[in-house]
């Protein structure tokens, strides 16, 4: 592998700028003549906008303009779209309520923008915003799923009667009913998957700069996928044709899904920069992040699992209500359907599954993909069900899982997914060994003697990643293809630039992608640079989400590398007067196999550009590109086990040990993979113990700052004990499955299974706050 090749723990190339304060995030950028935007946001969850009086604000110092929702509609900026069409069981398309970038008539969640002040400074814009008088007529609001679907509930959109977006089904209902009719045991469970705020540490920001002479826009934005942003802004929002719009996502301070979407603030900044003839900057604050970044999760589910007399699962029935908030965000519709229900088979042989998912509008912030997106909800449900079943059937939870594991691959589940490979026993073995599962009973007894309640919880997750084959997702309603592109540019001196459509906002691509090049060419990674995040530099790309950058993005780079190497070998063979088939690449040299004849890679590159002595008919230069479309999803899987103690006096949970055994296929940089798992685990544990985005009955957010929303801190979390078992993914040449979301998908069930084990009660909702745990312990 070499010291910098595939599999090496290479320290990150990008770190130097971050540890020295030289990172360049959107808010760090200043343009000549730049103005600042401050949005005027609705304090009401549901209201008519009767009148906006900006006359006083316009007279204030430094104020350039006050622009309203009616103006952006009049200028024909398009409404926000949802890019994945879902069809209800009755054949009707999903019901979309119109979502203008600023509300001209009706606001439907607290924080929705109705107008924007553009001023010479951020402070002046905010000063003036307070002088803009908005006359609202309050309407009844509804925030909760159950309340929203009741007859007589306040209605959000005329297009969606009953606040229903869709009623979608998957699986074979008849076969599932038949399985339940014959079941020896049926296990039932109601679970809520709590709403989360993504809270990337860098708040969203945008700078838009319109060049009137060229009729050209530049947008600096906090995006995980600048090319998708440009596509959507051009094709659907009428900002500018693609060749007149450059989107740059520089250093981005975390995303976790929340920076996939194209938000109203970016649209308004672009539109406003043309209107005022100056660059417009907007930087959100944390409260705006809570109010406007797409939230995650928020499901209410009833599920039943059927078992035969041998404890084999025979069927699964699921009914889920998914809260979408007030509008359908960009990929929201796919999250509780194709990213959730298709994973309901978990790691288990389940012959029959039927799931129904009802999407619901409420007067809350829109909900969309957040780390894991649908798969944490599926995994949590299945793993809570397995634990509940083990308790009800009085068998060891680990053994019940083994009884039902899929062991033959490929395996076609009843819910679309075809698992390509895996070894679920191996990861469970590794986790059980790491935590000394066999010794738990003795540890529990000892803890009891010390007045502590100790519990252990298992979670065996599977996810579908690398999303995804374009043809497959197209057939399921996706509005885009989900391939990735790459370009390899070899400079005349032999240094290499890799252009990728993946975007790095913490994942370390500037290092891992170089490791592939180092591995293939034997050149040091210092000779390679990764170019990403700028639509003027990289031709196109689909961006980073769904744990796809290595499995799909890196494979695209591999494909381009192969093309480049093929040409370079021809050049080398020509120079060395050898046959192309005899050329091997070793330690930065092109060698004639079995001889000492060699030419260094930089000399090959130089030959390509001088073109003095190329094979007949060969074009000069050394630059190749590739588009890679995966043939299947990838299926990372693993086993997490959590051991913890509950203080019966306070209900507070303390970790004793947390082990994670993951199968991600091939690892490019184990150090970076471990970091991804750590972060994912923290978010999964955060969901289980701390985090909950809460609204009151009138749609007022209760948790709109870090004073109320509990973010995991260092002292809330343990150190983690990680290991890997490996089955190589057969779907891509590198054998990679992806690692970005696993921790967030598998962790929460392990924690809740452990707490419910500790306290001896099965029903406990997330987040398991001390209060909630204490009340559950003492409930009759």
User: Is 541 or 743 the residue whose CB approaches another protein more closely?
Assistant: 743
Which residue from 188, 243, 433, 713 is in contact with another protein, where contact means CB under 8 A? 713
Which residue from 325, 346, 469, 508 is in contact with another protein, where contact means CB under 8 A? 508
Other beta carbons within 10 angstroms of residue 716's beta carbon come to 16
**DSSP classification of residue 544:** S
Which residue from 53, 711, 760, 763 is in contact with another protein, where contact means CB under 8 A? 711
Which residue from 672, 729, 750, 764 is in contact with another protein, where contact means CB under 8 A? 672
User: Is 127 or 377 the residue whose CB approaches another protein more closely?
Assistant: 127
For residues 413 and 421, give the distance between their C-alpha atoms in angstroms, rounded to a whole number: 13
Which residue from 683, 748, 753, 756 is in contact with another protein, where contact means CB under 8 A? 683
* Binding positions for another protein, 185-244, rule CB under 8 A: 199-203
In the complex, what is the shortest distance from the CB of residue 705 to another protein, in angstroms, rounded to a whole number?
5
Stretch that binds another protein, among 65-73, 534-542, 637-645, 714-722 (CB under 8 A): 714-722
Pick from 679, 652, 648: nearest CA to 744? 679
* Binding positions for another protein, 354-383, rule CB under 8 A: none
Number of residues that bind another protein (CB under 8 A): 77
User: Is 521 or 768 the residue whose CB approaches another protein more closely?
Assistant: 768
In the complex, what is the shortest distance from the CB of residue 709 to another protein, in angstroms, rounded to a whole number?
6
What are the two backbone dihedrals, phi and then psi, of residue 309, each rounded to the nearest 5 degrees? Answer: -70, -15
User: Is 116 or 478 the residue whose CB approaches another protein more closely?
Assistant: 116
Pick from 733, 503, 501, 755: nearest CA to 651? 755
User: Is 520 or 772 the residue whose CB approaches another protein more closely?
Assistant: 772
Contact between 477 and 461 under an 8 Å Cβ cutoff? The reply is no
Contact flag: residue 14 with another protein (CB under 8 A)? yes
In the complex, what is the shortest distance from the CB of residue 406 to another protein, in angstroms, rounded to a whole number?
29
Pick from 297, 286, 209: nearest CA to 684? 297
Contact flag: residue 59 with another protein (CB under 8 A)? no
Pick from 104, 87, 105: nearest CA to 96? 87
Within a 13 Å sphere around the CA of 475, how many CA atoms are in the beta-carbon half? Answer: 5
Q: Are strands 496-500 and 528-531 parallel, antiparallel or unpaired?
A: parallel
Which residue from 538, 682, 739, 764 is in contact with another protein, where contact means CB under 8 A? 682
> Which tokens hold the place of 351?
């012959």
Stretch that binds another protein, among 100-108, 304-312, 558-566, 669-677 (CB under 8 A): 669-677
* Binding positions for another protein, 251-270, rule CB under 8 A: 251-254, 256
In the complex, what is the shortest distance from the CB of residue 13 to another protein, in angstroms, rounded to a whole number?
10
Contact between 572 and 585 under an 8 Å Cβ cutoff? The reply is no
* Binding positions for another protein, 610-629, rule CB under 8 A: none
Contact flag: residue 452 with another protein (CB under 8 A)? no
In the complex, what is the shortest distance from the CB of residue 315 to another protein, in angstroms, rounded to a whole number?
37
User: Is 618 or 702 the residue whose CB approaches another protein more closely?
Assistant: 702
Which residue from 584, 603, 671, 728 is in contact with another protein, where contact means CB under 8 A? 671
Which residue from 54, 132, 709, 725 is in contact with another protein, where contact means CB under 8 A? 709
Stretch that binds another protein, among 81-89, 391-399, 726-734, 766-774 (CB under 8 A): 766-774
Cβ contacts of residue 377 below 8 Å, gap of 6+? 193, 297, 299, 301, 320, 336, 340
* Binding positions for another protein, 383-412, rule CB under 8 A: none
In the complex, what is the shortest distance from the CB of residue 713 to another protein, in angstroms, rounded to a whole number?
6
Within a 13 Å sphere around the CA of 87, how many CA atoms are in the beta-carbon half? Answer: 9
* Binding positions for another protein, 560-599, rule CB under 8 A: none
* Binding positions for another protein, 685-704, rule CB under 8 A: 690, 692, 694, 702-703
User: Is 16 or 448 the residue whose CB approaches another protein more closely?
Assistant: 16
* Binding positions for another protein, 715-744, rule CB under 8 A: 715-717, 719-720, 743
Which residue from 286, 312, 443, 623 is in contact with another protein, where contact means CB under 8 A? 286
Which residue from 1, 3, 50, 123 is in contact with another protein, where contact means CB under 8 A? 123
For residues 394 and 22, give the distance between their C-alpha atoms in angstroms, rounded to a whole number: 58
In the complex, what is the shortest distance from the CB of residue 737 to another protein, in angstroms, rounded to a whole number?
20
For residues 765 and 749, give the distance between their C-alpha atoms in angstroms, rounded to a whole number: 11
User: Is 315 or 376 the residue whose CB approaches another protein more closely?
Assistant: 376
Pick from 709, 744, 766, 772: nearest CA to 298? 766
User: Is 202 or 266 the residue whose CB approaches another protein more closely?
Assistant: 202
Give the residue carrying structure tokens 């797409």. 294
User: Is 79 or 710 the residue whose CB approaches another protein more closely?
Assistant: 710
For residues 246 and 661, give the distance between their C-alpha atoms in angstroms, rounded to a whole number: 42
User: Is 528 or 773 the residue whose CB approaches another protein more closely?
Assistant: 773
**DSSP secondary structure letters along 185-248:** EEEEEEEEE--B----SSPPEEEEEEETTTTEEEEEE--S-HHHHHHHHHHTT-S--GGGEEEE
User: Is 60 or 468 the residue whose CB approaches another protein more closely?
Assistant: 60
For residues 307 and 390, give the distance between their C-alpha atoms in angstroms, rounded to a whole number: 11
User: Is 201 or 618 the residue whose CB approaches another protein more closely?
Assistant: 201
User: Is 193 or 333 the residue whose CB approaches another protein more closely?
Assistant: 193
Contact flag: residue 505 with another protein (CB under 8 A)? yes
Cβ contacts of residue 452 below 8 Å, gap of 6+? 645, 646, 647, 648
Stretch that binds another protein, among 182-190, 274-282, 390-398, 768-776 (CB under 8 A): 768-776
* Binding positions for another protein, 638-667, rule CB under 8 A: 649-652
Binding mask 147-186 for another protein (x = CB under 8 A): ----------------------------------------
> Which tokens hold the place of 308?
């035969």
Contact flag: residue 526 with another protein (CB under 8 A)? no
In the complex, what is the shortest distance from the CB of residue 168 to another protein, in angstroms, rounded to a whole number?
32
Pick from 331, 221, 227, 332: nearest CA to 267? 221
User: Is 474 or 718 the residue whose CB approaches another protein more closely?
Assistant: 718
Binding mask 73-112 for another protein (x = CB under 8 A): ----------------------------------------
For residues 154 and 557, give the distance between their C-alpha atoms in angstroms, rounded to a whole number: 51
Distances (CA, A) of 651 to 171, 513, 682, 685, 760: 40, 46, 20, 16, 13
Beta-strand runs (E) in 671-731: 721-724
Cβ contacts of residue 780 below 8 Å, gap of 6+? none
Strand partners, 37: 118
Give the containing element (helix H, strand E) for 530: strand 528-531
Which residue from 678, 698, 762, 765 is in contact with another protein, where contact means CB under 8 A? 678
Cβ contacts of residue 429 below 8 Å, gap of 6+? none
* C-alpha angle 657-394-757 in degrees, rounded to nearest 5: 30
* Binding positions for another protein, 19-38, rule CB under 8 A: 19-25, 27-28
**DSSP classification of residue 589:** E
User: Is 311 or 710 the residue whose CB approaches another protein more closely?
Assistant: 710
User: Is 14 or 497 the residue whose CB approaches another protein more closely?
Assistant: 14
Strand partners, 529: 497
């Amino acid at each position: 592998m070499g010291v910098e090749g595939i599999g090496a723990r290479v320290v990150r190339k990008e770190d130097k700028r971050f540890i020295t304060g030289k990172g360049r995030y959107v808010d760090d950028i200043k343009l000549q003549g730049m103005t600042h935007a401050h949005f005027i946001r609705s304090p009401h969850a549901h209201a008519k906008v009767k009148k906006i009086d900006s006359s006083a604000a316009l007279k204030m110092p430094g104020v350039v303009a006050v622009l309203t929702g009616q103006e952006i509609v009049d200028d024909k900026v398009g409404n926000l779209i949802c890019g994945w069409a879902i069809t209800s069981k009755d054949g009707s398309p999903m019901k979309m309520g119109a979502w203008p970038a600023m509300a001209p008539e009706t606001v439907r969640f607290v924080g929705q923008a109705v107008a924007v002040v553009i001023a010479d400074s951020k402070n002046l814009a905010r000063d003036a915003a307070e002088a803009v008088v908005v006359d609202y007529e309050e309407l009844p609001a509804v925030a909760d799923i159950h309340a929203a679907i009741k007859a007589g509930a306040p209605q959000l959109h005329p297009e969606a009667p009953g606040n229903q977006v869709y009623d979608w089904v998957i699986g074979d209902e008849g076969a599932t009913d038949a399985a339940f009719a014959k079941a020896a045991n049926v296990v039932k469970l109601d679970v809520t998957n709590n709403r989360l705020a993504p809270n990337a540490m860098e708040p969203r920001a945008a700078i838009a700069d319109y060049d009137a002479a060229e009729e050209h826009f530049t947008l600096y934005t906090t995006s995980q996928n600048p090319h998708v942003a440009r596509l959507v802004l051009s094709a659907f929002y009428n900002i500018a044709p693609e060749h007149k719009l450059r989107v740059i996502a520089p250093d981005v301070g975390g995303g976790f899904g929340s920076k996939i979407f194209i938000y109203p603030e970016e649209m308004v900044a672009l539109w406003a920069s043309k209107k005022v003839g100056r660059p417009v900057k907007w930087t959100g604050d944390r409260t705006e992040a809570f109010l406007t970044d797409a939230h995650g999760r928020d499901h209410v589910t009833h599920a039943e699992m059927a078992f035969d007399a041998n404890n084999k699962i025979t069927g699964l029935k699921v009914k889920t209500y998914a809260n979408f908030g007030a509008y359908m965000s960009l990929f929201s519709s796919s999250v509780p359907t194709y990213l959730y229900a298709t994973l309901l088979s978990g790691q288990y042989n389940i012959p029959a599954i039927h799931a129904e998912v009802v999407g619901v509008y409420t007067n809350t912030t829109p909900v969309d993909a957040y780390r894991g997106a649908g798969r944490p909800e599926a995994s949590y449900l299945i793993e809570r069900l397995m634990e509940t079943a083990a308790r009800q059937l009085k068998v060891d939870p680990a053994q019940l899982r083994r009884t039902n594991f899929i062991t033959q691959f490929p395996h076609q589940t009843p819910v679309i997914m075809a698992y390509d490979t895996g070894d679920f026993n191996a990861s469970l073995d590794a986790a059980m060994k790491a935590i000394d599962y066999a010794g738990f009973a003795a540890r529990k007894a000892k803890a009891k003697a010390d007045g502590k309640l100790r519990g252990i919880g298992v979670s065996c997750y599977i996810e579908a990643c690398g999303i995804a084959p374009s043809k497959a997702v197209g057939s399921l309603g996706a509005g885009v293809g989900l391939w990735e592109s790459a370009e390899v540019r070899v400079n005349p001196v032999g240094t290499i630039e890799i252009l990728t459509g993946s975007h790095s906002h913490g994942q370390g691509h500037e290092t891992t992608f170089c490791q592939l090049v180092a591995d293939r060419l034997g050149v040091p990674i210092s000779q390679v640079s990764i170019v990403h995040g700028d639509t003027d530099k990289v031709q196109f790309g689909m961006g980073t989400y769904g744990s796809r950058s290595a499995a799909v993005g890196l494979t695209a780079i591999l494909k381009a590398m192969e093309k480049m190497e093929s040409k370079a070998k021809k050049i080398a063979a020509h120079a060395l007067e050898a046959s192309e088939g005899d050329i091997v690449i070793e330690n930065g040299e092109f060698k004639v196999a079995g001889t000492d004849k060699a030419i260094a890679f930089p000399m090959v590159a130089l030959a390509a550009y001088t073109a003095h002595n190329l094979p007949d008919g060969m074009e000069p230069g050394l630059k190749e590109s590739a588009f890679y479309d995966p043939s299947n999803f990838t299926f990372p899987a693993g086993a997490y086990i959590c051991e913890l103690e509950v203080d019966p006096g306070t209900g507070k949970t303390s970790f004793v040990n947390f082990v994670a055994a993951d199968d991600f296929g091939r690892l490019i940089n184990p150090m970076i993979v471990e970091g991804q798992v750590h972060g994912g685990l923290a978010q999964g544990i955060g969901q289980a113990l701390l985090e909950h985005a809460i609204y009151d009955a009138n749609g007022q957010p209760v948790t709109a700052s870090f004073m109320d929303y509990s973010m995991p801190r260092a002292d809330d979390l343990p150190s983690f004990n990680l290991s890997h078992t490996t089955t190589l993914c057969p779907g891509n040449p590198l054998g990679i499955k992806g690692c970005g979301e696993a921790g967030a998908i598998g962790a929460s069930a392990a924690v809740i299974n452990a707490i419910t084990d500790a306290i001896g009660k099965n029903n406990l909702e997330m987040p398991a706050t001390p209060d909630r745990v204490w009340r559950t312990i003492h409930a009759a």
